[in-house]
Amino acid sequence: MTVHDLPPIEATLNGIATLLIIAGFVLIKKGNKTAHRACMLSAAAASALFLAFYLTYHALKHGAPQPFGGEGLARTVYFVILWTHIPLAALIAFLVPRTFIFALKGQFERHRAWARITFPIWLYVSVTGVLVYFFLYQWWPAKGA
């Protein structure tokens, strides 16, 4: 395994997190708290693994960003996604643990209130994380990268 093998692993972990976040949402709407909890804890684990791989990848690349090879509308769309993804991903690093703490303490009203904010942001970040991967490495890779 090399550093170049990490981005598809990261995208896969983000995709898994996305599916688990959606499943957790559906399960809580159906009243299945046990399965909801399992899905959300699994989504958090997938997101944490993603973060570990992401930080490892960038540390090994010495912080050099992957250049985007697209032009025109693709470039505009990519940067809009990226510039919204980055600050929201940083926010998720605070929101998810905070939301989980309320649930783990049995403070379900506070958990629900925080989850109404956390859920759509976390879902957006996980989906756009996969999109960033496809934009950078599959659809418009930089020439020579």
Mean pLDDT calculated for residue range 112-126: 98
Examine the pLDDT at 34 and tell me if it is beyond 60.
yes
Domain boundaries, the chain: 3-139
Contacts 24+ apart (CB under 8 A), 54-61: 54/6, 54/10, 56/6, 57/3, 57/6, 57/7, 57/10, 60/3, 61/3
Mean of the per-residue pLDDT values for the chain?
94
Q: What is the pLDDT of residues 64-79, one digit of tens each?
A: 778 899 999 999 999 9
Q: What is the pLDDT of residues 17-33, one digit of tens each?
A: 999 999 999 999 999 99
